[in-house]
Amino acid sequence: MPPKFLTLLPYMKQQNWLFNYQFDWGMPKSFNGLVKRSAYLTESTIAFELFCANKQLIEQQYALFITDVKQFAQNKLYQLLNA
């Protein structure tokens, strides 16, 4: 894994970032964290407002995406196990 990611990983585990993304209250924290780590983002309120306004569309796109990802992972696992 990239070194920069490895420095974040302990915090991700400790604060359980991925689990908290499922809750609306977890998203502002996520956006705030992005602003802190970004060189070009300066505030997170607008991002969270856009997220809330487009949540249904985001959920629909996620459902399509995760279905494809799961199928890809299953196929890749099958290929690797039967290679």
Six-digit token pair at 67? Answer: 């279905």
What whole-number distance in Å separates Cα of residue 26 and Cα of residue 29? 5
Model pLDDT for residues 48-59, shown as the tens digit of each residue: 999 999 999 999
Model pLDDT for residues 32-81, shown as the tens digit of each residue: 988 888 888 889 999 899 999 999 999 999 999 999 999 999 999 999 99
| CB-side neighbour CA atoms (13 Å) of 11 | 7
Global model pTM greater than 0.85: no
